[in-house]
Chains A and B, each alone.
Chain A
Amino acid sequence: MNLAAIWEFIAGDSRRAPLAVALALIVAVALLHSGAPSGVVAMTFPAIIALGLGAAVFESR
């Protein structure tokens, strides 16, 4: 089974979008552990994903 093919099947051909999702996860976990208000995390998390989408749209591949 080709892991790269499975990965491309799930994440498509963008590299930036998955990176943004990973970054959003790390930041959200860090914020939650530091005791930040849930509302702040709830806004930060989708904002990073949206930035990732923007970066992916302008990704040249």
Chain B
Amino acid sequence: MNGWTLAGTSFLASAVEAVEALTIVLAVGVTRSWPVALRGAAFALLVLALIVVLFGPLLRLVPIDQLKLVVGIVLTLFGLSWLRKAILRFAGRKALKNEQAAFDREVSALRAAHEAQADQIGLITSFKGVLIEGLEVAIIVVTFGAASTAALGWSAAGAAAAVLLVVVLGLALKQPASRVPENAMKFVVGIMLTSFGTFWTGEGLGIAWWGDDLSLLLLAAFYLAVSTALVAAARVRGGVPA
């Protein structure tokens, strides 16, 4: 499996979630204090890193065919979930994520908190925000890394690079990253996860894919075509937003 593909998918998935987590950390930082916001985020990142370090190597104790099957099914389900949401958003049947609105909501909630408990609430908000947004990424990194130590290294590096980039940008701008094309990134990640998932599930079942890893590209092209057609069909059909 190409390390750059793993790292790239992991990078995009992490970047999307990091943007969402950043909104919450910024809200805490602006409303309460930066040490509180950063402490909460750092604790959560530590927990996420522990999940990757503990569960990554543990998964490799499972026989490879069973592992591919289970990991493949999980990735396919994850991918379909991301892709469905992205398709509905592109088709206008689900509201696009608005980081500025999410930021404003968090700020209002934090300002309403009682002064005596405000720092504690800020710490918990920052911790929970980063943990919840990062959990999906941790699972993706762990499942990607199930194949080998090198694969775990590639996927973890992709995730770390994305988090670093988003954190640096966020701290420099000190405002929600509302101009990041989150939905387009989710669409691409959805296609990649579904392709990886299909490929690995197939390998676990014993399907001999044409051209081995090259089939991944064909699967990605196939799901891209299907998803693009579904965006158009959902736009035409319209109806009640999901």
Q: Do A and B bind each other?
A: yes
Instruction: Give B155-199 interface residues, CB cut-off 8 Å to A.
Output: 194, 198
* 8 A Cβ contacts from B190-235 to A: 194, 198, 201-202, 205-210, 215, 219, 222-223, 226-227, 230, 233-234
Query: A57, B208: Cβ atoms under 8 Å?
Result: no
Q: With A28-B207, A42-B215, A53-B227 as known contacts, state yes or no: A11 contacts B87, CB within 8 Å.
A: no
* Cβ B210 vs Cβ A42 within 8 A: yes
Residue-by-residue, is B69-108 near A (CB-CB < 8 Å gives 1, otherwise 0)? 0000110111011111101100100000000000000000
Question: Secondary structure of the B side of the interface?
Answer: helix
Interface size grouping (class) on chain B: 35 or more
Decide if A53 touches B230 in the complex (CB within 8 Å).
yes
Q: Is the CB of A49 within 8 A of B76?
A: yes
B69 to A, closest residue via Cβ: A25
Interface of A is mostly: helix
Asked if B112 is at the interface (CB within 8 A of a chain A CB), the reply is: no
With beta carbons under 8 angstroms apart, the residue of B74, B84, B198, B201 that contacts A12 is: B84
Instruction: Give the CA-CA distance A52 to B198 in the complex, in Å.
Output: 13
Q: A46-B219, A54-B230 are in contact. Are A60 and B240 (CB under 8 A)?
A: yes
6 additional contacts (CB under 8 A) given A42-B202, A46-B198, A57-B88? A18-B77, A21-B76, A42-B209, A45-B207, A58-B234, A59-B242
Listed from nearest, the 8 A-B pairs whose CB atoms lie closest are: A12-B81, A38-B208, A17-B80, A50-B226, A11-B77, A56-B84, A57-B230, A46-B198
